[in-house]
Amino acid sequence: MTSDSLKNGTLKAIFAGKSVPFTRPGTFSAIAKQEVAGQVRAESLGINGDEQGDKRVHGGLDKAVHCYPWSHYSTWRSELPEVSRLRQCGAFGENFSVEHLDETKVCIGDVWQIGSAIFEVSQSRQPCWKLNDHFGVRDMSVRVQDTLRTGWYLRVVTPGDVRAGEAIEVLRRPYPDWSIARLQAVIRDRTCDPDLLRQILQLPLPDSARNLFARRLETAIAESWQGRLEGR
C-alpha cells in the first residue's frame, strides 16, 4: 500500500432500511435498503433510520455501518448476469457504497473522516445464508466469502453528518499489514498457524471476531460454517 491509498476514497451513496420478515419463517432482515438523499446523521449505533433484522450478529457499536465497494458490482454482473439486483448499488445491504476503495486497500483499525463524522474500520463482513435467499443464488454466501468481496464494518468514533459525494479521508492507519482482504483470507483458508493467529489477536477486533481466532489458536481447528453459510 502506498501513501496515495490513504486519500482516494469517495462515498458514492448512503442506504438505510427497516427490519421486515424475511424468506424463512421467524426470520427478519433489513438487507433491502433504500438510498437516502441529502445529509444523514451517523450515530454510535449507525445511520439514522437504519435497522438490523438479527441483532445477535448484525449492528451494535462494532458493526454500526456496513461498507461495500461499488467496483465489485461490474464483476458480479459479469458472473451473474441474470441477477437483476446487481444492477444498482445497495444490493448487499451496505450502508455506504464506496468508490476507489476495496478490501485490499482498507485495513483493520483505519480511522476515516467523512463529513463531520469519524469512523474506524472494525472487521470484515462474514457472509451468511441471507445473501443466498436475497439474490436467489444458492451459493451466494460462499461466492462472497471465496472471492473476498465481502465488504467491511465501521465503528462510529465521533457522530456527525455525512452526505453522498463526500471524500473519505484516512486519518490514521495503525495496522498497514492487515488489510481486510488478508484477514478475510485467513478465515476463508481455515488457517490455524499459531504465530499468525497471535498476531491477529493483537488487532482491535470485536469480541465475535476475536473469539473466532482465539478458538482456532486453542484448538488448532477451524470453525464450522454450515450454519452461517446455509442457515442450518
Note the pLDDT tens digit of each residue in 177-225: 999 999 999 999 999 999 999 999 999 999 999 999 999 999 999 999 9
Band (pLDDT 50/70/90 cuts) for residue 2 is very low
CATH number at residue 149: 2.40.33.20
> Average model confidence (pLDDT) for the chain?
94
Instruction: Encode burial over 206-230: b for 16+ CB neighbours within 10 A, e otherwise.
Output: eeebeebbeebbeeeebeebeebbe
66 phi and psi angles, rounded to 5 deg:
-100, 130
Q: Crossing angle of helices 140-147/180-188, nearest 10°?
A: 120
Sheet holding 40-43, edge to edge: 46-47, 40-43, 160-162
Which pLDDT does position 199 carry in this prediction? 97
What letter does residue 117 receive in the DSSP assignment? Answer: E
CA distance linking residue 47 with residue 36, whole number of Å: 10
CA distance linking residue 169 with residue 155, whole number of Å: 15
Looking at the structure of the chain, the number of domains it has is: 1
Which pLDDT does position 7 carry in this prediction? 53
Q: What is the pTM of this model?
A: 0.94
Q: Is the pLDDT of residue 123 over 60?
A: yes
- CB-based contacts of 101, cutoff 8 Å, min separation 6: 8, 9, 67, 69, 168
Which pLDDT does position 4 carry in this prediction? 44
Cell numbers 472471492: residue: 147
Sign of CA pseudo-dihedral 175, 188, 69, 41: negative
User: In terms of Cα–Cα distance, which of 124, 93, 96, 99 is closest to 110?
Assistant: 124
Q: Which domain holds residue 79?
A: 3-230
Amino acid at 94: E
Helix/strand/coil for 158: strand
Helix (H) or strand (E) holding 133, with range, is helix 130-135
Which pLDDT does position 53 carry in this prediction? 77
